[in-house]
Amino acid sequence: MKKIIAYICSVIMFAILASCMNKPSSAVSPEKSSDITGKIWQLTEIYGKSIQLKNPKAVPHFMLNTSNMRYEGHGGCNGVGGTFEIKPEIMRIKFNQGMSTMIACDDLETERAFVQALLAADNYSVNGNTLTLNKARMAPLAKFILK
C-alpha cells in the first residue's frame, strides 16, 4: 500500500513539475519581443507609405528612456520629446504630448505625420528589427527600423 501511495505521489509531483517548465524555445517571450526601450527607432513608413524626404540626412527617429519615462527624438526638422507609458507584457504604449522646437523646413509635413502617429498610437508590434506603432486593430500608423 505504501508503494502505491509513493508511486501516486511521484506521478503527481512529476505532473506538477512538468506543468511549471518553460515553453519550447521556439516560442518567443513577450518580454524579449516587446523590448523596444533604449534603442533608436528610425521612421521608414508613415500611414502605409514609405517616407520621401527632401533632406535624407534628417530622418525622423525616437528613443524611449525608461529611467525617466521620456521619449526623445527628431522629427526631421525639430527635436521632439515628452513622456510615455508602456506595458511591454501586453505591448501597449501611450505617448503624451510633449515639447518640440519650432523650426520650419522642407520636410515639415512628414514631421507632423510622424508626431501625429506617435500621439495616436496605443499599441505596438515588433518583427525582427522592425517596430510598428498601431492604433487599435487598424492599419499600422508608422513603421521603424533600428538605427
Tell me if 12 is assigned to some domain.
Answer: no
Question: How many distinct structural domains can be found in the chain?
Answer: 1
Answer whether residue 15 is part of any domain. no
pLDDT tens sequence for the chain (147 residues) = 555 544 444 434 444 433 443 333 333 333 444 589 999 999 999 999 999 999 999 999 999 999 999 999 999 999 999 999 999 999 999 999 999 999 999 999 999 999 999 999 999 999 999 999 999 988 899 999 999
The pLDDT of residue 95 is 98
Residue 83, domain member (yes or no): yes
Q: Is residue 1 a part of any domain in this protein?
A: no
Q: What is the CATH number of the domain that holds 38?
A: 2.40.128.270
Write down the pLDDT at residue 81: 97
3-state SS, the chain, equals CHHHHHHHHHHHHHHHHHHHCCCCCCCCCHHHHCCCCCCEEEEEEECCEECCCCCCCCCCEEEEECCCCEEEEECCCCEEEEEEEEECCCCEEEECCCEECCCCCCCHHHHHHHHHHHHHCCEEEEECCEEEEECCCCCCCEEEEEC
The whole-model pTM stands at 0.76
Closest CA relative to residue 134, chosen from 114, 113, 115, 120: 120
The pLDDT of residue 114: 97
Per-residue pLDDT, 139:
87
Q: Is residue 98 included in any domain, yes or no?
A: yes
The three three-digit cell numbers of residue 126, written as one number: 515588433
Does residue 4 belong to any structural domain of this protein? no
**Cα 76 from Cα 58, distance rounded (Å):** 5
Domain span holding position 136: 29-146
What is the distance between the alpha carbons of residues 64 and 70, in angstroms, rounded to a whole number?
6
Judge whether 10 lies within some domain: no
Residue 65 bridge partners (DSSP): 70
Residue 115 falls inside a structural domain: yes
